[in-house]
A and B are shown apart, each in its own frame.
Chain A
């Protein structure tokens, strides 16, 4: 049996982190693969955080924020959308598999969606196997 993949999730505190909370209080099942990091806003996530996660052993990285239009700071997620649209493509350009990085909108009411994203991503990462690219101890 292979070890569970390591998934690092950056979750906005207003929507996605609360969505994760709801998944928990609703007793929804999802893999314990995700290491969730609460951030003020998806717009706070510097692409360097994503690189750091891969360097230090993440098999996949998720950035999750409020749906467009719902940002607590009005536009943070809209900046994040532009930024990570580019970053995602760039990571693929460097040779990372597309499944290893995702940007998702998960609201505070979407506990089910949160569980689903984690399940999907974990399954993808299990299929791909451990990430060796960009890792400092490959």
Chain B
């Protein structure tokens, strides 16, 4: 009853706002209202008001956005009689309306995200049996060894869980391939991994044919196992010790639960973070998704499976005959299907795995293309908005998740729209300079403020636009192709273990330089037209300003596609753990300061350090967090320096036995807390103004860096080509 009442009251308030917003008031009234609303939003943000105040601020912002939509719809479209203006004008309008629609969906999803869930402790005897699946295709055995070791080290009764390595790189089909070399490699891989699994106590499983890619592989695992729950880890996603303890409890609470998803935490930067050097200080791209959007989805029981770092219910999967494989994003597709059958999902907002993400821009784009194409396939084949069985909020949530990937279209339109005016003198937006300023500026500022309100700690200003832009250039053709041929795309495994050894331009960088050049010409045309056609300088300036904004984005993107040489392959994690350093009964006290996947930094105390260092290799001895005996990890010493009372040593692990992988995994992956802490150091909100200033500076620098790389590339190719003629002569 009270619920109905509150729905009615809310509806009344919403209708009231709608009516007020759609009044055809004059420009002055809108301008003042915009200023008042902005002031109110700023005040609320400055005093840090949360809870209901946050929703009031969002309502205020929404009102201005709706006013913009009203104005844009009623008074700015070019007349149909001028088709050359009307068609691009309509496209721009649709692009803007798409953005507004996505904003509305986001508002719905993240209006009040669920707070982080408390841990659920389960009595030891109630713990369900779990099969841990690690699907692999072409990953290096040493990488797999770390993951398997970490999985095996999970804090869970040994008799209740089994780790399965699901190898699709050593299938019968692969081993019998026509290509002899490939077949040979598959055979070797098959044998090596079998041995590795045996050594680490995991089960190795492969299958006849590589059908249905990852989904097929997982289904094969399902068919060969019996555990009540399935945990899935990508080959490069190593779980923390607490992973199962933190997740399985929810299945006891809700028998209709099919999924507990946890965030993906990455130890290495993505190309943007690496090339822009923001990894250490700015929240990662996926933190917006895992830090807030998944929590928002969780509120509406719409948190979906992201392919890894999740626990699923076998009963639920049996209902759908395993994982769905129509699309190339089997994870989300499976979740849609199960949600529609009345199963529930839960999201645990705590990084419990650490993994790797694509290093190079090309593989980053490859991964995103798969996501975008897969989501388009889901939209095409499952069409969540009309899927029977989904609740209304779930439909909206899936709509947001899938429609999001249409962003290359509006992004492209926003990029080129100003050029229509600057180059071809088309009037695709009929408004005076003053109107444009009053409505568009208030809309843009309010939009930035709302984004900041919603995602401030997780996404800095203009970074979303930058990510969208760098992806759009290559995603647009990918999305168009999947629209034309929805069944064509196939699952391609994303390479994540590449490294960049020399500074160079990405192989996908060319379009970015072309676009930058075109926009730069746009700026020149702006200047010329302001000078040569003073009678329409106001419109030219406004459009030129828009183009300039695009240029700043495009300039920043030049930095993204200029790959920096990589200094450390993966991020170092601070651990601060007691150990002993030495060899053969000669042991010195030491602390492990930080660790990475490949090595560690150790501070050694005591007098007789130098002789040990001189040997070039030694051992670390420490008690694993999983308990048990003190264990020994052999290391190569790479460097050392005197540091106060001790000596700081940089070392590299020597993983010669399976046991060593277990120890490395214990050092890096055992403690999930350290990842949370690291994330929190990056989560701060610079605010719209400071964030914008920061972005501008970043962009100037990156533009310059991109151009330097470009010049170097041009010169480099000249140098390479130069010897050729002489060689021909000779």
Co-complex (A, B): no
